[in-house]
Chain A
Amino acid sequence: MATPTVLETPVIRSRTQTGDTLARLVVLGFATLILLVSILAVYELWIASGPAREKFGLGFLVSTLWNPVTEQFGALPFIYGTIVTSVLALLISVPLGVGAAIFLSELAPAKVSDALTFLIELLAAIPSVIYGLLAIFVIVPMMRDYIEPFLKDTLGFLPLFKGYALGVGLLTASLVLSIMTVPFIISVSRESLLAVPREQREAALALGATRWETTWQVVVPYAKLGISGSVFLGLARALGETMAVTMVIGNEPAIHASLLASGSTIATVIAAQFNDASGKVYPAALVELGLVLFLLTVVINAIARLMIMATTRKGSKRI
């Protein structure tokens, strides 16, 4: 009776297999498209930045000169502005975000927590340009009339708070960025806190720790990696944030010690100057800035994902 099986099996196999192979090839092709787009992205940015790379070499990264008229370009003022605004923004948004995440995961009843998280995620869905709109007409006047004069009066002896209270500048940009990054920090931190096993909390409470001691000395350290991941995710977002920052930072390609002064970030100088860039070297210099920003965010995103992956794997909730 072996003959019929030998005859039949190949026929069935081949019929289902052609369909499967075809389907597989189609989806594989589209997946490969993603890979191709990314390779093309790096290649295009590399080629388009060619004239600037040839002219300035690595000196591009450390020069503070940015003069379109004489075609002298250096990236340092923008790298400085990007790092200062992002770090300052995180100094505000990390405590705010981690604090709120603790409330949402440890204190609030599940239903309230879910509802509040939903609202916070809506905050993350608001387009950047809307944040910019509000920043220009609400935050800038507030900074100019109240907060910056107050800072000058109280802390004006520090070089950080010298100069005119213009309303626009590094400090305002950082404030806007901090509001924009908080939702990301909250939602990722909350996930990692929720992934901490219940037994950890119960053990600490049983030893007589207060609610806060349990949270701060047991739960938060357990979710440390995930929370750090959320910080890096927020950082990656802050580094590349464009529209809202462009609208309030003042767009001056210079390094000032004062946080009240105008500045510029990599993303904002591209947004503000790209359309006016004429000649060969000027647009190429802006593209090279884009390449720098691209590489910076790739590295930081990679760190963030590794950290978040490590905690969610460690946690008991996900398989």
Chain B
Amino acid sequence: MNKRLLWRKAVNGVMLTLTGVFTFFTVSCLFLILGFLLYNGFRSLDWGFFYKLPLPPGENGGGMGNAIVGSFEMVGLAGLIGLPVGFLAGVYLSEFEDRRYASLIRYVADLLNGIPSIVVGVLAWALVVKPMQGYSALAGSIALSIMLIPIVTRQTEQFLREVPQSLREAGLALGASKWKMVATVVVPAGSKGVMTGMILGVARISGESAPLLFTALSNQFWAKGLLQPTASLPVMIYTHAISPFDDWNRQAWAAGLVLIGMVLTANILARLVIAKGISVPRG
């Protein structure tokens, strides 16, 4: 073998190995993150975490019951607003589009999707908190729904587009009107995918803290109603992690473990169980 060929083969081997090393490194980040969370989280997690109130620094124990309830409340309300709006807008883009206007909406939805979450927080503050003169779970939900709508819209559109054209033609040929065809043929055919998209969207917003920092704020106690400052798990993790107190830091780890458990379970369920057998288009 001449020198030149040897060199080329060496470069080939080194570079290809390197790509493998990079992949290994990236994937191992996931396991390192999970490992640290499991190790530190389980040491601080007990049953009281799920129903007790947070304690002031220096006292051991306590929990984040109010933040868990607050998170569910705000994510739930955001879902109630965001899922129907996003879904119907997605149906428009996939089934009822007029070319020009639809591509404008598509572009704007992508744009909205790309806004940093902190800016969404500022926006919801200007939109809700400022006029209503107070932090509230409602403002937090609105911020989260602004993030959720474009995600669900684009996912719905993509999954409905995967439904074969022949199914639509068959529906129309049977004499169904267009909306009836869409409602009874296209949407059921794409429902698995649409559900996947919705779950992924909800999982994504349930981990967001930046939009809640100055809309829902936080609360050391149980919030009474939607118009009060409300605690959420992500914001609690933030405030407890940056505090100088050991017992608060421990609670942050426990909260981190609970949050990642919920987010990853939703992701794995959506991608593996529900989406089984369908291809998942990526946005």
Q: Do A and B come from one complex?
A: yes
Interface residues of A (CB under 8 A from B): 15-17, 19-20, 22-24, 26-28, 30-35, 37-38, 40-41, 44-45, 47-48, 95-97, 99-100, 102-104, 106-108, 116, 118-123, 125-134, 136-138, 179, 182-183, 186-187, 191, 210-213, 216, 236, 239-243, 246-247, 267, 270-271, 274-275, 286-287, 290, 293-294, 297-298, 301-302, 305
Across the interface, do B26 and A130 meet the contact criterion of CB distance under 8 Å?
no
B122 CB contacts on chain A under 8 angstroms: 45, 48, 270, 274, 286-287, 290
| Main secondary structure on B side of the interface with A | helix
**Given A16-B177, A44-B123, A240-B117, also A123-B30 (CB < 8 A):** yes
**Given A239-B116, A274-B214, also A30-B177 (CB < 8 A):** no
Q: Which residues 123-142 of B have a CB within 8 angstroms of A?
A: 123, 125-127, 130
Interface residues of B (CB under 8 A from A): 8-9, 11-12, 15-16, 18-20, 22-23, 25-27, 29-30, 33, 36-37, 40, 84-85, 88-89, 91-93, 95-96, 102, 104-105, 108-112, 114-119, 121-123, 125-127, 130, 146, 149-150, 153, 177-180, 182-183, 200, 203-204, 207-210, 213-214, 217, 234, 237-238, 241-242, 249, 252-253, 256, 259-260, 263-264, 267-268, 271, 282
Across the interface, do A26 and B209 meet the contact criterion of CB distance under 8 Å?
no
Residue of B nearest to A138 (CB): B36
Across the interface, do B214 and A129 meet the contact criterion of CB distance under 8 Å?
no
**Considering the chains assembled together, what is the distance between the CA atoms of A195 and B110 in angstroms?**
22
Across the interface, do A216 and B112 meet the contact criterion of CB distance under 8 Å?
no
Sampled A-B contacts (16; CB under 8 Å): A19-B179, A27-B88, A28-B96, A34-B153, A102-B19, A120-B30, A137-B36, A137-B249, A138-B36, A210-B11, A243-B238, A246-B238, A270-B118, A270-B121, A294-B115, A297-B114
B203 CB contacts on chain A under 8 angstroms: 125
A302 CB contacts on chain B under 8 angstroms: 111
Across the interface, do B25 and A129 meet the contact criterion of CB distance under 8 Å?
no
Residue of B nearest to A25 (CB): B96
**Considering the chains assembled together, what is the distance between the CA atoms of A148 and B30 in angstroms?**
24
**Considering the chains assembled together, what is the distance between the CA atoms of A27 and B115 in angstroms?**
24
A96-B25, A137-B253, A297-B114 are known; give 15 further A-B pairs, CB within 8 A.
A16-B177, A20-B177, A27-B88, A27-B96, A34-B109, A37-B112, A48-B122, A100-B25, A107-B16, A126-B30, A126-B264, A210-B12, A211-B16, A271-B213, A274-B213
Across the interface, do B12 and A34 meet the contact criterion of CB distance under 8 Å?
no
Whole-angstrom distance between the Cβ of A76 and the nearest chain B Cβ: 19
Across the interface, do B23 and A116 meet the contact criterion of CB distance under 8 Å?
yes
Whole-angstrom distance between the Cβ of A260 and the nearest chain B Cβ: 20
Residue of A nearest to B130 (CB): A48
Residue of A nearest to B271 (CB): A118
**Considering the chains assembled together, what is the distance between the CA atoms of A185 and B72 in angstroms?**
31
A267 CB contacts on chain B under 8 angstroms: 116, 118, 210
B237's partner among A31, A133, A187 (CB-CB below 8 A) is: A133
Task: For the complex of A and B, list the 4 residue pairs with the smallest distance between their C-beta atoms, beginning with the closest.
Answer: A240-B116, A127-B207, A23-B179, A16-B177
Across the interface, do B179 and A22 meet the contact criterion of CB distance under 8 Å?
yes
